[in-house]
């Protein structure tokens, strides 16, 4: 895939968008522009919604499940055959280290394989109703589903949205983030090569305020599967309310990382930097608020800072790079503003916060202590390489501090006392929590947030069921 698509994939055809504006694609490691992509207009979104409806009714909805599963397996196979070229493109577009990009593309293939298998497990129920007769439910597809995705995991999150929706028998219009449209277009191309009927998966890059907005308001779109910021998620929910569109929202986070003194805390100190600085902190699951038991606080901080300083920052195309540049100059400036404010408030920035010399939107991971709970750096999602650590002494007080946030996406608890770890995990208000681990995402398990971190779940059977309507059928005696 040396040549990559840059046009709109609309009803099986690659079209130059009719709008005047184009999306400019920049390599964050060099700051050079390397592609321009068509940007869908409101009219083109409308055409895609109509074509999606035709494809849904004429081919996809009624295709035998086994045949649909074979097509999804075919997409997975093509993703695997093209992993290296898609990963290279993802790295050039997002700035993420090539090793991470390879992992994400491979994970995208697994998502398609999982949902190909899941098709055979999408079952209704038979229900013993009081008056007798036969009562049963069907899980029926909805129609055209829109997937609106962010720039931090462009290929993988597109797979999370597209695969369960297709598996359940819906057609999909995918709108990737305007900063990172390329690998979503590759997914569209591979789906075409795999033999998906025209209009079943359409990919239309475009701006949020034009293309995204048009999807959220189009009457033929039955559901919006959105991943992005809490602010835009709330806007989409309001837009969707007018015609009661279904929404699933995966939004921001400010996740806790809780380390008790009885944990293998040396290991936690060594592994925790990557739980917040991976993808240069541009990760909704980033564990950016750390709660460390007072008795180990100083030693833990010192080991955590050393481990952070050992991270290999640089050219994301090199195999041993762990931290690449941020996605854009704006994102870097946003993180820098939080660091400057923390310094201005007299907080301790123990390491990091500086740019690397030369080109590229690099920012060294910053470690902050001495914050107060009302500091912006402690409370707000930064979406950059900044972490705050605070000590705690009392478990109950710590848990109320952990939950004193509007977010509730993910988090970790470190303790060798499993009763304690489970007690704390049970009390933390978040959709996902890991014990003695930083792993949050598993293809087979539901992923999503409490409170302002979202509504509904990606992955697992939950995501596929959420792309269906339940129909109850009663047969009288
Ligand atoms: P964003 O909200 O700015 O954009 C997300 C998508 O929404 C993009 O495709 C954008 O074009 C579109 N959009 C913007 N305005 C729109 C509008 N008015 N109508 C319809 N669509 C619109 O988010 P981002 O900056 O791309 O991504 C970062 C955010 O995503 C962070 O807050 C992060 O925590 C969150 N995120 C969450 C998860 C999760 O699974 N919970 C995963 C990754 C990222």
pLDDT tens per residue across span 348-376:
999 999 999 999 999 999 999 999 999 99
**Distance between Cα 420 and ligand 1 center (Å):** 35
Catalytic, 467? Answer no
Q: Which CATH number fits domain 8-251+452-475: 3.30.110.30, 3.30.1280.10, 3.40.50.1370, 3.40.605.10?
A: 3.40.605.10
Q: Is the pLDDT of residue 2 over 60?
A: no
Q: Which atom of ligand 1 is nearest to the CA of 409?
A: 41
Q: Judging by beta carbons within 10 Å of its beta carbon (0-12, 13-18, 19+), is residue 195 exposed, middle or buried?
A: exposed
**Distance between Cα 151 and ligand 1 center (Å):** 8
Q: Is the pLDDT of residue 19 over 90?
A: no
pTM of the model: 0.97
**Distance between Cα 226 and ligand 1 center (Å):** 7
Q: Is the pLDDT of residue 151 over 80?
A: yes
Whole-angstrom Cα distance, residue 93 to residue 316? 11
Q: Is the pLDDT of residue 273 over 80?
A: yes
Half-sphere exposure of 88 (CA within 13 A, CB side): 7
**What residue spans define the domains of the chain?**
8-251+452-475, 256-442
Catalytic, 250? Answer yes
Q: Ligand 1 atom 28: the closest Cα is on which residue?
A: 228
**Distance between Cα 80 and ligand 1 center (Å):** 27
Q: Which atom of ligand 1 is nearest to the CA of 250?
A: 41
Q: Is the pLDDT of residue 1 over 80?
A: no
List all residues whose CB is within 6 A of at least one atom of ligand 1: 148-153, 175, 177-178, 208-209, 212-213, 216, 227-229, 232, 235-236, 250-253, 284, 381, 383, 409, 449, 454
Alpha helices, DSSP H only, in 403-476?
Answer: 418-427, 460-465
pLDDT single digits (tens) 210-252:
999 999 999 999 999 999 999 999 999 999 999 999 999 999 9
Q: Is the pLDDT of residue 467 over 60?
A: yes
| 3-state secondary structure at position 261 | coil
Q: Is the pLDDT of residue 125 over 70?
A: yes
Q: Which residue out of 159, 284, 285, 388 is catalytically annotated? A: 284
Q: Which residue out of 90, 113, 250, 336 is catalytically annotated? A: 250
Q: Judging by beta carbons within 10 Å of its beta carbon (0-12, 13-18, 19+), is residue 292 exposed, middle or buried?
A: buried
Q: Please give the C-alpha separations between residue 350 and each of 10, 251, 303, 335, in angstroms, as whole numbers.
A: 51, 30, 12, 16
| Domain 256-442, CATH | 3.40.309.10
């Amino acid at each position: 895939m040396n040549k990559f698509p840059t046009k709109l994939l609309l009803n099986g055809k690659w079209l130059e968008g009719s709008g005047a504006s184009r999306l400019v694609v920049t390599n964050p490691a060099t700051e050079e522009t390397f592609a321009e992509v068509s940007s869908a207009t409101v009219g083109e979104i409308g055409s895609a919604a109509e074509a999606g409806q035709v494809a849904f009714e004429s081919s996809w909805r009624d295709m035998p499940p086994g045949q649909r599963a074979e097509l999804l397996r075919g997409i997975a196979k093509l993703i695997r055959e093209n992993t290296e070229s898609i990963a290279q493109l993802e790295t050039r577009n997002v700035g993420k280290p090539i090793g991470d990009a390879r992992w994400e593309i491979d994970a995208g293939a697994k998502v398609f394989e999982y949902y190909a298998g899941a098709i055979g497990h999408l079952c209704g129920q038979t229900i013993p109703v009081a008056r007798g007769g036969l009562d049963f439910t069907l899980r029926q597809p909805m129609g055209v589903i829109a997937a609106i995705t962010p720039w931090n995991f462009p290929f993988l999150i597109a797979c999370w949205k597209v695969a369960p929706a297709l598996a359940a028998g819906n057609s999909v219009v995918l709108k990737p983030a305007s900063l990172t449209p390329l690998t979503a277009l590759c997914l569209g191309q591979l789906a075409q090569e795999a033999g998906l009927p025209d209009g079943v998966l359409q990919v239309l890059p475009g701006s949020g305020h034009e293309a995204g907005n048009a999807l959220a308001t189009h009457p033929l779109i039955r559901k919006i599967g959105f991943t992005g910021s809490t602010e835009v998620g709330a806007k989409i929910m309001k837009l969707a309310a007018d015609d009661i569109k279904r929404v699933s929202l995966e939004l921001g986070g400010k996740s806790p990382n809780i380390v008790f003194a009885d944990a293998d805390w040396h290991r936690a100190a060594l592994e925790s930097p990557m739980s917040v600085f991976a993808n240069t902190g541009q990760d909704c699951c980033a564990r950016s608020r750390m709660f460390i038991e007072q008795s180990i606080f100083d030693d833990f901080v010192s080991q955590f800072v050393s481990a952070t300083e050992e991270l290999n920052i640089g050219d994301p195309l090199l195999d041993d790079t762990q931290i690449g540049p941020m996605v854009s100059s704006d994102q870097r400036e946003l993180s820098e503003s939080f660091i400057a404010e923390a310094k201005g408030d007299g907080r301790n920035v123990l390491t990091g916060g500086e740019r690397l010399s030369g080109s590229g939107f690099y920012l060294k991971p910053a470690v902050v202590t001495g914050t107060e709970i009302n500091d912006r750096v402690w409370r707000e999602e930064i979406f950059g390489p900044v972490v705050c650590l605070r000590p705690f002494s009392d478990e109950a007080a710590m848990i109320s501090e952990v939950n004193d946030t509007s977010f509730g996406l993910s988090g970790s608890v470190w303790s060798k006392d499993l009763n304690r770890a489970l007690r704390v995990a049970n009390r933390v208000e978040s959709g996902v929590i890991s014990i003695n681990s930083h792993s949050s995402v598993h293809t087979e398990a539901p992923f999503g947030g409490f409170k302002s971190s979202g509504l509904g779940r990606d992955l697992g059977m939950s995501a596929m069921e959420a792309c269906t309507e339940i129909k109850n059928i009663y047969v009288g005696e």
